[in-house]
Structure 1
Amino acid sequence: MYILSGQQTILNFKCDSSRSVAALIEGFTDEESYIFYNMFQIYRYPQVSYNSQNLYMSHPVQYPYFYRTVPSEFHLCAAIGKLLKYFGWKWVSITSTNDESSMKAAQILREVIEWNGGCIKFHETIPHHSLITKSQLYKIIKSIHESSTVNIIYLNKNSISFQEFLMNLHLQKTTGTIYITINEPEMMRELLLISRMKNNTFIFVPYKNVIPNFLKFIREVKPFWLASDIFGKDWWEYLCDSRCPKNIKRDCNFIYKNNTFTHCINTNFGNSYSVYNAVYAVAQALHDMIMSDSGNGTTWIRENKNFFYSMSWKLHRYLRNLHFKNGLGEELYMDKNGDLATGYSILNLIIFPEWEWKYEVIGHYNPHAPPGQDLIIDEKAIIWENSLTQIPPQFRCTPSCHRGYRKLPKQGQPICCYDCIQCVEGEISNQTDMDTCITCPDDQWSNQKRDACIPKVITFLTFEEPLGIVLTFISMFFFLVTAVILGIFIHYRHTPIVRANNRHLSYILLISLMLCFLCSLLFIGYPEDVTCILRHTTFGIAFSIALSSILAKTITVVTAFQATKPGSKLRKWMGSRVSVSVVLCCSLIQIVFCFLWFFIAPPFPYLNMRSEIRSILIECNEGSIVAFYCVLGYLGFLAIISFIVAFLARNLPDSFNEAKYITFSMLVFCSVWISFIPTYLSTKGKYMVVVEIFAILASSAGILGCIFLPKCYIILLRPQRNSKKELKKM
């Protein structure tokens, strides 16, 4: 009040103009800064704090006259969150004082931790304005030491219980835990002597730097300069202590030793750097205002001074837009909240043998730096506790889920507590602690460990594999057998049994069966455009010729029986021309279907990635499904017509009747293809091709065996029966 009024007796009245106030630079506590602001704002005095980090006062609208040269607690919460994320610490406990600012900061800290995927094990509070009870103290300390968490001690250093809590906390014998605090505790030598402190503490303090010539000044300061400051004189005498660093130790003609020498372990001397910047900031703002009001360098006369002192509120505009260099050459400016754009230093409390200790700067946090460059950690400078089994240590409710596994949250537990389950087939996790597994692309599949997608194996029915070799052998065997039978029929073409029922139809049928056996080979090997088109069209046309030949044979049987009746007009329909015409007409219809199929939507090679989970099947896509079923349906139509006609003619008394054999052959053919449909639809991959080949071979072999083997038996083994006389007895 004396400073504001210029006198000691009269309040709210300014008597001494020489003591007019331009700005107030203060080092109050958080609460005091808030209380005194309400008085300073009446006169619109700029209030520049070098100590208060009060979270609530970073609001330029509510607190337009408040400035500070230390960062807000909001940035402190972000800095702690960044450090936790850097080391991957996700299991955290918080102890804070119950003052309003600390509680708000703890809430923000909780949100930051949870945003980064961490969890809060517990949040305990200790009283700020009163002593903590023994029961409260032991309860909190027990909770801290029983939990494998990173312990954030967010205590207001002006709290009554601050020192007592820290001392009792460090008296406990603990290993494998980490503490993060926001203040440099004023350690006493007795505390170190009786405690079991370890290298496990990180401390966040506002950024500090060594002021030029400051160390020289404090060594050479004269005692009478400190006559009015009792604490200052004691502080200066402490510098004679032999344990002080050389750069600040004074040369004294006596040996001074005291149990408390806090400033000796702090080379930056508390708030000195912040005070230094506060003075520079106000001085620079005053300079900018004076130069602005004085125009082009006019003389700063007494009248201007009086006017200036009565208009000190004008200083705010220059403080808000302040950008200057301090004596260290650092570029400094005020941010939009009126806070100096600075950050935090991260200290590591290092304990040496013989209970010596020091603070080591192991990192910095600058909230105004570009993203990714705001947090800098020098891991090599960190001294970890010897008992740690893992460096840096890990703090989690649940150990990390390794690659190939994903997290499954536990019911009723924080999100950090989970079970690890392996990804299902076709999915992977290529990082630790993944929430969900990644589905592999269609052309890839998960490996056995489920941590990488590998290309699927390309599969198709090859000639080299055992199944392909067997089917090829069977196809060629039946092809050769059919060729031999054709040779036999050509050699014995003049015998009655060959001439019966039109030998030309027998030749056509045998040749078509040879094509059927050969076309099965088109289904083996790498599918290409040509092979995909040929395998279906060749199959359809070859079988239509075979079935047309069988139908013509059946019609020939019926016609021959009817033509033997007296006066029958069917005699003129007897002969090879009619039979060949039936074959050509029936086959031509199938050829038209195949050509339409080719021009509308022909078959094409297709990569089937879904039939088999671990492989890609190269198969022939039918193209037009309608055309495909028309081709198969037409074959079925011919087979059914042939079967019906042959079945009706099976008991005809003609000696040359082969309707019985055709009936059996069509029965085999229809049985094979009827059973083919459900079998084909129930198989996957290359085995679908195997089923199709088997159906072709089985139906072709059935026709060959039922129609031609009995005749071959008579021709080769019973030649005496291959005569008109014997055939009439049959």
Structure 2
Amino acid sequence: MARLYLTLLTFWPLLYIGQSKSRDTCIYQGDEDTYSFYEGGDMVLGGIFPLHSSTIPLVSTFTTKPKLINFTPRALRWMQTMIFAVREINQRQDLLPNLYLGYHIRDSGDDIPVSVKRSLLLVNGQPEKGSGRSCEDIQKLPSPVIVGEASSGVSMAVLRTLGSFKIPLVSYFASCSCLSNKREFPTFMRTMPSDLFQIKALVKLVHYFQWTWVGVIGVESDYARFAIQLFLKESERFHICPAYVHIYPVALTQNAVEELVNILKSSSATVIINFSVDSYLHGVLKECRRQNVTHLQWIASEAWATSKVLWDDFGDLLKGTLGFAIRRADIPYLGSYLRSVSVSDAQTSHFLSEFWEETFHCRLNGSLNTHVHGEEAENWPPCNGSESLDNVYTLYTDVSQLRVSYNVYKAVYLIAHALHNMSKCEPGKGPFQNGTCGSLYPHSLPIMYIHVRFDDNGDPIASYDLMNWQRGSNGSLQLVRVGFYDASLEDDNDLVIDEPVPESLCSQSCLPGSRKARQKGKPVCCFDCIPCAEGEISNQTDSIDCLTCSKETWPNQAQDQCIPKTLEFLSFQEPLGIILWAVSAFGACAALAVLVVFILYRNTPVVRGNNIELSFLLLLFLCACFLIGLTFIGKPTDWLCQIRYPAFAISFTLCISCILAKTVVVLMAFKATLPGSNVMKWFGPAKQRSSVILCTFVQALICIVWLTTNPPVASYNNKFMSATMIVECTVGSEIGYWCVLGYIGFLSSLCFLLAFLARKLPDNFNEAKFITFSMLIFFAVWITFIPVYVSSRGKYMVAVHVFAILASAFGLLLCIFAPKCYIVLLKPERNDKNHNGNNEKTHEKLLVFFFFFQNAY
């Protein structure tokens, strides 16, 4: 009742704008109100927009007027959109070609008393204060129709005041279903869908995510009360239960906000549906942050579903918010029109000057407007005229989400089309009694011409976008369209979800392949998604723990299932295997080629110089060593492993035994040249062959013991955490393996010692130096082999072993036989006993070359 009295007191003086004591003059009663956008025309369309909000005292004393605060750039865009639409229509030749439209736009302050007062100014016109001019000669023409208001409650108050005068009101944002009552509000029209459709969409959204326990809150207003009532009724069809229903006051005291937040905090419902405008939600969110209530999933009504003013202060609380917004649309050239405002334009309009000052934090004309930022604004410098809207971001110029602005645009065109239809009406064929057409003059615009394209209640067909609040890469609000609701579709298909929508406000669900890890100091619903560790998987959404794959399996790339490991071994098909195979074949062919040369030149002194039979045997055994490397390539099997190591051991033992016999021959030959020595009869060809067989027999015996006790076998190595399983030959008995290598090392050391001692004996074609170099290379290869072999794994360990075999075999072949082949093939004139000294020097040079070549290789 108090607000009703305040309303009457506010607009009562305006009732005397009409005739004074002298019935032919008009006198303005009350304070002059000149803040507006105005342009005259044949018909002036009224507009009323909430450019500011007003202070609402808890207890009104009726001694002070409401103050307008909080300038809203978005509402200024709505105002400018109406001006843009009017000017666009005036430029068209196909719509109202003979009628020039004007506009008269005022600020409602988002307050009932202020809005009613300024609505009366629109419909009465406005003379100059105290002018006493004729009532027919007023300064601003009256408006026969008003575009407005944004709030449902304010629209109802204006309608109840102007309804008796049949003044149509076309709203662009009032959505209360109560306004569809044509008996109570016969002159109301809107381009905004009724809340009846929004409620159906909200209930279906809640049902889609299977939320059956939700909280419902709203600000104390007709809009929220009717919306909540409809929601509770509609939700019964889908078995959705309200955990609580709470309506909080517009003037939110500390006790009221604490009571509300305590309800949110104590309830087990985490989904909250709020029917309010953004300005009334600020205090609630501030208290939620103070009490650390951060686990709520907010569902926004269309009144704040696309509002960005809350994001800067409460983005962390509102991330993931869902809400239905009226359909977005584009208005060609509107963006450039909005940005065309200059400092000279701002100086001619109070609304624009206030916007200019708050945008650029400067003062126009050396003074401040009424609505500024207090003492902070007093320090603003004067505007220098170089400011441009092209260089700043503001909600005024943001045309990326034209929703309410498009409703304003449609409202102006709705009125224009109604006027156009009236202008074409033929007398006797009109829609009124006796076929009359009505009149184009003020206060005669029939509502029938406006709602012909709408339903019986004058409501447009509802169509909403489902918006999801997400944080952009720069921290700004990203309104992402994730679905839509279209009331024109069938009941089962009217709600469409395009993309998955996060169900949790705090954290999104953890996909398979990751696990949940709680954030320290935050509620249970706040967690991080940690990828599963190496060798682990998770095959469910929101898994708490990851599962370890078996030894034979490994996670796939997504880490959501275990798959068999890939087998790894040195294959003939891969490049490394092909190279080793080619080198082995080349080495065997080289040994056979040398053997052929020696056979062909078997009667020459160089070939016959040191036991030609042992040379032939050595070349055959070297050929075998090269071919043994092939047994290390391919997938290991038990029988291949049991052949590989003994064959390697025996072939190299045969080679070293032959070299050892050749070394002993050199020593014995020297002893035989001494007077009275008969040592050669104890080391003839038969004895030499016997020594080779005896040395090899010892190695064969070691291999037999090894194979009978704990032989090498093929195995699958799972010790390494990787996606591959190594197929390898395990040596079985480590003692047997190292005994084989140790015996080869023993024979090599003995051979090296004897060759070193015999390197300077004065015998023709002394091979001791060749053997010494060959043993040095042999030791270098195998001493290097041991640490590299131990530090390698898998196929690379096998490759190291094959390389050691090939390198040592090439070392023996080149150091012992290359110098002889050089003399035999390239220097045949030195292949006689008379060139012993020259041959020795040539051999030494070649040996030094091959030694460094092998070590570099």
TM-score by length of 2: 0.42
TM-score by length of 1: 0.49
